Amino acid sequence: MSKVKFDNPMSRQVYSLPELIEDQYEDLEPKARKVLSFEEIFNIQKIVITGAGDSLAAGEATKQVFEQLTGIPTEVVKVIDLARFYPKNQLGTDSQNPLIISVSNSGSGARVSEAVQRAKKHGAYILGVTGNLESDLGEYSDKVLELDIPDFESAPGTRSYVVSLIALLLLAIRFGEVRGNYTMDQAMDYRYDIKNQGENLRKVLDLINEQAIQVSKEWNDLPYFEFIGAGPDYASAWFGHAKFLEANGKISTHINSEEWFHINFFARDVENIGTFVFASEDNEAMSRNKELIHYNNIMGRPLVIFTNGTSETFDNEEGIYIQVPSAKYGFNNVLTNIAPICLIASYIAELNDEEYGRGTKGKWEFADNGFGVKTSTIEIL
């Protein structure tokens, strides 16, 4: 094992997040304001957010805020479901409805292309959120919210996920503002809270990093990891499991706080399952999260809790508490509560001399340059 420095491209991505949040807010705020007209925003009767991988998680992380701020029913649909299974008669229900928000920074995934082509064919209205106007997503979208994410060292995507979240949060805020659900002053307060998460993260990042290093050293040899949360925190848990698989290749699962009691708690070898729980203080499923943490401890699973609360919030249950920034508006917590898990994922990779994405070598060679995602038979049903 080479000398571990706890400093790698992925951890440096995390350290770039405060500035990225502030800069991307400035870039995306005016774009999100103008991408749809008043008429288009008032026309929306249903929103479908679609994506794959991190983009799907970004949709899951913001589904509730779309419904909360806009009052418009909102679904998050996996691209393969939208492409192959979503009922045709629910696409193009009325003029320009539903609004499909398709998120993909590269815009180049075959299934993303297929999903937006099918949705457009049957009459839905497509708002692409992408950094690639030349991609199929850019081409088939009726409107595009263009992402412009500065280049960085290659690593499992942390920056692109956070930027996707900023874009979606700004769209939700904008839709609610235009539809008169709250005042412009309130809308600006929601927006500034997004930007302020940059500074909030900057203030605690060194402390989070120390804890992340400690957890990585202690849990490095564990073979299994599980990521749990509810609502928007489930999206962060999902994102955490994805980063573990990408960065260090450890076997990782994700599940929500309710389903854990139905399924995953049955797993054997409990002392070898590193369990990460995402539990924001204002999460509506807090009571269930407390039960989850309590029974997790009875079973003897190693436990880390990511929260903007404290151990007191969880009745001083045992566990390693990593305190993440607390936004003024809870829906903005998703921007920063993923910072520590990205650090841990990267440090465990470093400790194991593990190449990100297995270096797309050997058995993983077929996936080089995103081949497995970009190259796939497209069927427009």
Partner 1 sequence: MLKKFDIKTSYNEIVDITESVKETVQESGIQDGLCIIYNPHSTAGVTTFSPWDPDGFLDLDDEIRRLVPTRIDFKHQHDTPQDAAGHVKSSLFGVNEIFIVADGELLIGGSQNIYFLEFDGPRSRSYYVKVSAD
The residues that touch partner 1, with contacts defined as CB under 8 A, are: 33-34, 37-39, 42, 177-178, 180, 183-185
Tokens of 315: 């009745």
Give helix 9-34 / helix 339-351 axis angle, nearest 10°: 150
Cβ 287 to partner 1, closest distance in Å? Answer: 34
Residue 44 Cβ, how far from partner 1 at the closest point, in Å?
Answer: 12
Contact yes or no for 328/190 (Cβ under 8 A): no
CA atoms within 13 A on the CB side of 350: 21
CA angle 200-207-252, nearest 5°?
95
Q: How far apart are CA 226 and CA 252, in angstroms?
A: 6
* 345, 248 contact by CB (below 8 A): yes
Residue 239: closest CA among 61, 54, 17: 54
CA pair distance 138, 214, nearest whole angstrom: 43
> How far is residue 287's CA from residue 306's CA, in Å, rounded to a whole number?
16
Q: What angle do CA 54, 176, 192 make, to 5 degrees?
A: 70
DSSP state string for 177-220: HHTTSS-HHHHHHHHHHHHHHHHHHHHHHHHHHHHHHHHHHHHT
Cβ–Cβ under 8 Å, residues 164 and 20: no
| Dihedral angle, C-alpha 211, 212, 216, 222, nearest 10 ° | 90
Q: How far apart are CA 162 and CA 335, in angstroms?
A: 6
> What is the token pair recorded at 351?
């400790």
